[in-house]
Amino acid sequence: MEFFDKRPGDKVLTKVLEDGTVMAILGDVVPDVVRLPSELGGHVVKVLSHITASCIAKDCDQHHHHYRLDHDVGIGKINVCGCPKHGFLWYKGG
């Protein structure tokens, strides 16, 4: 499995290979899996579904990608919203 680096709002996913070359994926890609931050256990979890919806940050009026993640990691159902202004916003939900 290959992991790529992504920041909220990025349209390009990148990975630096051992020889220094860069592999990139262009476009709006929905990942198969994401890695939870260490505060949430650091697990790699499957993306179950994806929607574009309003940001969960109160001071952001934009629409972003929201991913519903597999909840079989013992911490309940987790979602993530990728906001270019606030970063990845992790939240519990159905």
So where are the chain's domains?
Answer: 30-92
DSSP 7-76: -TT-SEEEEE-TTS-EEEEES----SEEEPPGGGT--EEEEEEEEEEE-SSTT---EEEEEEE--TTTT-
Q: Give the mean pLDDT per block of 10 residues along the chain (94 residues).
A: 72 84 80 86 88 94 92 72 92 79
Smallest CA-to-CA distance from 49 within 63, 31, 23 is with 31
**pLDDT score, position 51:** 93
**pLDDT score, position 30:** 82
